[in-house]
Each structure stands twice: as C-alpha cells, then as structure tokens.
Chain A
Amino acid sequence: MNIIKEEKKHMIYLKIEDNKGYFLKQEKEQADKWVEIDKILKEDLMNLLESAISTDFEMDEYLEEKIGHKAHQIVYKSIYEKFLDFINDKKSFIDECDAQFSSAIAKYESLL
C-alpha cells in the first residue's frame, strides 16, 4: 500500500486519565490535542482509522476500574475494541490493499 513511507511514528491515540477516556483530536493546521472520548465525531473516527493504518497506533488498554465515568467507560470500551480488532488485522489489510488493482496500476503507470 506504500502508506508507511515516512518514518514510523509511535504514538498514543486513546488514553485513560483521571477516570476518564480521551482521544487525540487531529485537525488540519492545528496542533493535536486530547479531547474527552464522549466528544468524538465521525471525522475524528476517520482520522483515527487513517492513523491506525499509517502509524504504530497505540492505546491505553481498557480496564473498567480505571474509568470511573460510566459514559466514558461505554464509549471508550467500544472504540478501543473496534480499533484493537482493526490493528490485529492490519497486516492482512495492507496485504489486501497492496494486491488491489496491482496489475492495472502497473499497466497504466507504465504508459506515463
């Protein structure tokens, strides 16, 4: 897929602090910042998914007792588990994407 061209980043994207869950909000032309997990928007989810593919995506493990805030507990758990699944399948994802249309890309690129 040739996505990981830059130096691999080791970054944490989901964290637990002070009994609450946070995600790293990434916005164009602004510094990344930590935002409470129940404020997450679909664009944030897409950004996190892109980062899960292109970087060494790290998250604080979900432990029920570490998050006192009940709503945060539910949201953090669900998102954490989804991302855990996704990262576990990352190798197959990259293999699948690399194989996708490879002959077409090679053929039409060679005309350039």
Chain B
Amino acid sequence: MKKIDLHIHTIATVSDKAFDFDLSKLKEYTEKLEIDAIAITNHNVFDFKQYNEIVKELDIAVFPGIEIDLERGHLLLIADNKDLSEINDFAKKCERVSALINTKDDYITLEQFNEIFTVLDKFLLIPHYQKNPIISNDIISQIKTLVSSGEVSSYKKFKTCIKDQESLVPVIFSDTRYFSTMKNFSTQQTFVDLKEITLNGIKSCLTDKQKVFLTKEEGNDFFQATDDGLMLSTGLNVILGERSTGKTVTLEKIFYNHENVKYIEQFSLLQNDKQKFEELLSRRHSSVSEEFLTEFKQVIDSVKNIDEKQNELEIENYLESLLKYASDNEKADAFSNTKLFSESLFTKKDLLSLKNLISATKLLKENSDYKNIINKHITDESLESLEIDLMKEYIRVEEINLKKDWVNNLISKVKDELRFRTSSTVPEEVDFYRIMVEKDKIKKFNKIVNDLKIETEIDRKEIRGFKIVAFTKNFTSATHLKKVCKRQISLIQTFSNYNLPFKFLKSLQNIDIEETELYKFFIDIEYKTLNKLGFEVSGGERSEFNLLHEINDALKHEMLLIDEPESSFDNIFLKNEVNSLLRDISKSIPVIIVTHNSTVGASIKPNYIACTKREIENGTIIYKTFSGHPADIHLKSVTGEIINNYDVILNCLEAGNDEYNKRREETYDILKN
C-alpha cells in the first residue's frame, strides 16, 4: 500500500494567495505524513528548475505536473518522471498553457488543450470532480483519453463515489501550499494498492475502486484526523480525557487540517439572554423577512421619487400663468398674440405597456416547458402574427411620438423667442397624465402599507419539535423603530407620521435614511421559538434549540466537531434528542465529540473512541492520544503504547471505578429501594 498526494503547490501564481515556498516544509510534510509519492501541480505553470531542486531534496518519487484552468474547471495533468527529455517536452507544453493564462479568470478551451497536449495517453489526468471548480462530465467525456479518476474534497464524497457505480474512482489530496510558518499539515492523501511507485502503476490503480483507500489498513471507514497520526472513524467518534489533556487542542487541529468543518465550540450555545436569542433568530431567518418584503421593496423604489408637493405646484403654476395670460390679453402685443405663444405641447404616448405586451408574447412564443399547453389555446402562427402586429403598432406610435417631439421642440423654441420680446405671462406646461399616475401610486402605496400593518403570522418552520414562527408587528415607538435604523439619529419626529405611510416615507427620506433601507421601517418582523407544547421557549430550551439548529446545519459541512455538548444541557435532552441526531448525522459525515459526560460518551454508542492523556517525561509535558473500538480491551497510541479501555471510560465519564461503585451502591440503590 502506498500513500500518494498528487496535488501540491510550490509557486504562488495569479490564482493563489501570496506565499513563499519553503522546500524544507515540504520535506517535513512528506516525512511526517509518510508519503510515498507526490506531484508538483502549480496553477498553469511548470517550473523545471524548481522541480529538479525538489527531486534532489526529497527521497520519494516526485512527479512533474500542472493544474490547468480548463473550461472554467481545474484539471491535474501529471507526467512521468523517468525520462528527462519527456519532462523537457512536458515543460514546453506547459509554457504554452502559461502564455494563455494571465489573470485568475482566464482559462483555456478544450480545443486549445487538445492542440497543446496532442498525445494524452502518456499522462495521468485527474479533473476536479466533486471539488470546486469542477470540470463538468460533458467536458470529461470530450477529453481524448481515458479519465478514470476524479479529485474529491472530503471523506464523505470519497465514500459516496466508492459506493456509486457510475462515478469516477475518487482520490483525495492535500492541495496545499508549503511555507515556513505553517503549523499543521493536511492529512488528506490517498492510499493505492501498489508495491512499487510508477506513474503507470498509479494510473492502473486509479481505474479500480477496490485499489484506492483512505487508510493503510482500515479501508475506507477511517481517516487520518491529525498530522501526528490519530486515526478516526468516518462515522461517530468520541474523544475522552481528563481536563487539560489536549482534547480541545486535538479538535482545533482537526479543524485546521480540514476544509468546510462545522465546529461547535464549548459553551457557544448557551442562550440565557432572550433579546440576543431573538436577534440571532432574526439573523438566521433574515431570508424569510427579505422574501416577505421583496414586492414591498419594489413598491418603495417606485414611489420614493414622487414629489406630491411639486406636482401640486405644477398644477398651480399652470393655472395661475394661464389665467394671468388670459386676463392680460387686452394688453397683448404682436408677440403674445401669436397662436404659438399660448400653445400647449403635445403629450407623447407612453409605450411601456406595449413593450410589456411584446415581451409577454415573445415569452409565450419561446417557452418550451409549457409549449403543449400554450399551443392548445394559441397556435405558433397566431403568436407570430400577434407579435408582428404589436411591433407594427409600436413602430406606428413611436413614429407619432417622434413627430410630436419634433413639433414640441419647434413650439418651445418659438415660444422662447416670443417670450423675450413681450411682457405678457407665458402659460406654463403641465403633465396631467404623469401627475395622475403618481397620485394613483401614492394611493396604492398607502393601501399596501396598511395591509402590511395588519399583524399576522408569515412563516412557520419546525426543527425537531421546536417551531420557529415569524410574524409581523407594527412599530410602536421611535425607540422600537431604532431596531432597524443603522444610524444614531432621533426618530421621534419621523415616527409621528407612522400612520400616514407616504408622509412617513418622505420624513424618512428627509432624515437621510439610506434608500436601500427604507422598506425596513414600515413593519417589524419578529421571530418566536415555541416548544413542543406551543409555549415560548425558556432559557434552557433556547440553548437546546440552538444546539439542534447547529447540528442540523452541520449537514452542509464535510465534518462535525462538537466540544462538550453537555456543558449546558440536561441528560434527558442529551439522550433523547442529541444522541440520536448525532448518530444520524454520522451516517453522512464524520462526527467527533469531546465529552466528559457518560450520557453522551457511553450511551451514544460511538464507532470509535480516542483518549487524550498528559504525561510528564523528563520534566517535559507530553500529550498522547490513544484510540480504539469501544469494545477493545485496550486503546493504542500511535507509538504502540496501550492503556485499559475500561479504566479510561470509568475515569473520564464516572470519575473512576471507586466513585462509580460508590455512587451506584450508596446513592442509586438506596433511592431505588
């Protein structure tokens, strides 16, 4: 069995964060993790000189490779390391790739790829498969050689691919950059069933799912959790240990060694403060509020620029100037007496509804999903002629509008000329149509806000017996309104208009509330969490709810770490709810629990247990981890030391054998009798 890591970065390219490669760290990594072969795969570049330096320094097989941005995905292309002229030829091909990629968003097309790498059979090709950015199956199928394996990003995906007959052979690699200050090494490598490392040997293994593993001896039910050799189950693990023996440190190591890990830290779930809990709920469920207010946001956008007073003023000016001009008529001179002097401008026809109709017809015409239903009522020919007729009408009206524009320009020009030569008042213009449309908008806006203000439940979700209810609530004071105001300003004056929606909107604008925030000031959305009996949750229940929520959320991650869940829960809750939930989740992703609690530690029936110990050897503190199956008599350390499993369990979960017996005999039995 050989351990390989064919995805290693040694050069900071445009696609990487800046780092200074440290060869000694790479050497330390390969030695500490006992790796048998690596491939140097930098983004779109192969540095032959650096490759030679690495080969000289390391005592293991080092393959030349490149990670290519291909059709917006990533592809590892690895060459053989036996023939120098072949590596030279590979380097030249890589130079052509480098020339095509200048920014992190550039990629080469499949056509360019095929043109550069004309003979692909001699290389090992591994696309990002269940790992971002992926190379799609469509592209994989078009690559002109056998692509049998694909890179995955987690143990969960590795195991899924192994079980799935249709998927590629999974491989998991570190994909890491090596620099002098790095503290932990990745533990993501793949074992291949091979006696001697050759590229062809690896290629052959990567065509067979029976020949790739997560561990050397334990198949795919285990993985290496930390770089100091701790193996854990891909199912449910419990880490035990007395205080200050390195349990939390171990969890943190696992957290930093892996990507997309959910880590629920100790005490992080305690929720005694009701207000903070409600804020947390609001944040978690902000999508409910946003979705509820989507349409209202659009309404605000449409009315926020309406100036009701300006509209009234326009009507007033029009009328005043008209009446004045009419009454001055007797004094009219040759200029103000001309017909054009008092002529109104033409009103242009608004084409918005016609435009919408044309789009709607196009939508009907081009829809393929519901074509059968549409065609049952309207034929394609009818839709086609409807679209043509609407377009003709559009052109006709647009033409009239253009003519009106031309005439209006002319009238305005003549009126301006006449105005300079007379003392008569010029009748002002007014657009009744726009003013009335805006008036209707305000009326509807007021109605919508009044409808919104009728307090009601808008959403209800259930999480394992708890219900989260979202409901609308009117703002009751300026202080309450501050909840949605990001700035420190007085809202007292503004709030006095709360019951007059449009006026309220204008007063919010007057105090410079950001336009994108305006919609939040009309109605408050609150969340309540109810327990199984339908009552609002207590302090303890809030913490329980939080834990269940966080554990549920873990399924979006690749691994769950949870540090002493017992810190704030009673045993009944842990046993009835938490244990079963954690067991369920461990069927999908590895779960690692640190605990002192016998309800969690012993009753949860883990797949694997680990125990941390602190020992002092020659005046130095040494942390050790022992692990094994729950039924094993002994737990073993990486160096082969053993400790008694039964003792560990009793010491860590029951405060030792004597205490356990005492408690059982003197407390429980007496109570029982």
The interface of chain A, by Cβ under 8 A from chain B, is 1, 38, 40-42, 45-46, 49, 53, 70-72, 74-75, 77-79, 81-83, 85-86, 89, 92-93, 95-97, 99-101, 103-105, 107-109, 111-112
Contact = CB atoms under 8 A, between A and B. Distances in A.
B447 A93 contact: no
Nearest to B429: A82
B575 to A, nearest CB: 41
Contacts of B437: 93, 96-97, 100
Interface string B424-468: 000100101101110011001101100110101010000000000
B111 to A, nearest CB: 45
Given A38-B323, A45-B319, A78-B322, A92 B350 contact: yes
12 contacts: A42-B312, A42-B316, A45-B319, A71-B326, A74-B326, A82-B432, A83-B432, A97-B437, A101-B299, A108-B448, A111-B458, A112-B454
Interface string B335-359: 0000000101011011011001000
A75 B326 contact: yes
B179 interface: no
Given A71-B326, A104-B298, A49 B353 contact: no
Contacts of B440: 1, 97, 100
A72 to B, nearest CB: 8
A108 B315 contact: no
Contacts of A103: 295
A46 B315 contact: yes
B344 A78 contact: yes
A1 B437 CA distance: 11
Interface-central residue, B296, B346, B451, by most chain A CB under 10 Å: B451
Contact of A89 (B312, B326, B349, B427): B349
A42 B436 contact: no
Contacts of A101: 295, 298-299, 302, 441, 444-445, 448
Contacts of B295: 101, 103-104, 107-108
A74 B325 contact: yes
A81 B344 contact: yes
Given A38-B326, A100-B444, A101-B299, A49 B316 contact: no
A105 B451 CA distance: 8
Interface of B: 295-296, 298-299, 302, 312, 315-316, 319, 322-323, 325-327, 329-330, 342, 344, 346-347, 349-350, 352-353, 356, 427, 430, 432-433, 435-437, 440-441, 444-445, 447-448, 451-452, 454, 456, 458
B448 A105 contact: yes
B326 A92 contact: no
Contacts of A100: 302, 437, 440-441, 444
Contact of A74 (B296, B329, B353, B458): B329
A37 to B, nearest CB: 9
B353 A108 contact: no
Nearest to A53: B436
B353 A104 contact: no
Contacts of A82: 344, 430, 432
Contact of A92 (B353, B441, B451, B458): B353
B353 A99 contact: yes
Contact of B319 (A42, A70, A74, A93): A42
A26 B299 CA distance: 32
A75 to B, nearest CB: 5
What are the 7 closest A-B residue pairs judged by CB atoms, nearest first?
A104-B295, A71-B326, A74-B326, A108-B451, A85-B347, A97-B440, A75-B326
DSSP majority for the B interface?
helix
A103 B435 CA distance: 23
Contacts of A95: 353
Contacts of A108: 295-296, 448, 451-452
B455 to A, nearest CB: 10
B338 to A, nearest CB: 13
A79 B326 CA distance: 12
A91 to B, nearest CB: 9
A105 B444 contact: yes
A41 B433 contact: no
Interface-central residue, B330, B344, B346, by most chain A CB under 10 Å: B344
Contacts of B302: 100-101
B213 to A, nearest CB: 55
Nearest to A95: B353
Nearest to B329: A70
Contacts of B342: 74, 77-78
B448 A93 contact: no
Nearest to A48: B432
B353 to A, nearest CB: 5
A93 B433 contact: yes
A108 B454 CA distance: 9
Given A71-B327, A97-B440, 8 more contacts: A49-B435, A49-B436, A72-B326, A85-B433, A86-B436, A101-B298, A104-B448, A109-B451
Interface-central residue, A70, A85, A86, A108, by most chain B CB under 10 Å: A108
A41 to B, nearest CB: 7
Contact of A96 (B312, B353, B427): B353
A112 B319 CA distance: 43
A99 B350 CA distance: 14
A105 to B, nearest CB: 6
A79 B432 CA distance: 11
A44 to B, nearest CB: 9
B487 to A, nearest CB: 27
A111 B350 CA distance: 34
Nearest to B346: A85
A101 B301 CA distance: 11
A85 B430 CA distance: 12
A92 B349 contact: yes
Contacts of A70: 326, 329-330
Contacts of B316: 42
B162 to A, nearest CB: 48
A32 B530 CA distance: 60
Interface-central residue, A38, A71, A104, by most chain B CB under 10 Å: A104
A86 B432 contact: yes
A89 to B, nearest CB: 6
Contacts of B356: 99
Given A70-B329, A109-B451, A112-B454, A41 B319 contact: yes
A86 B347 CA distance: 9
A35 to B, nearest CB: 13
Contacts of A42: 312, 315-316, 319
Contacts of A45: 315, 319
A72 B322 CA distance: 11
B323 A75 contact: yes
A79 B356 CA distance: 32
A79 to B, nearest CB: 8
B327 to A, nearest CB: 6
A1 B298 CA distance: 19
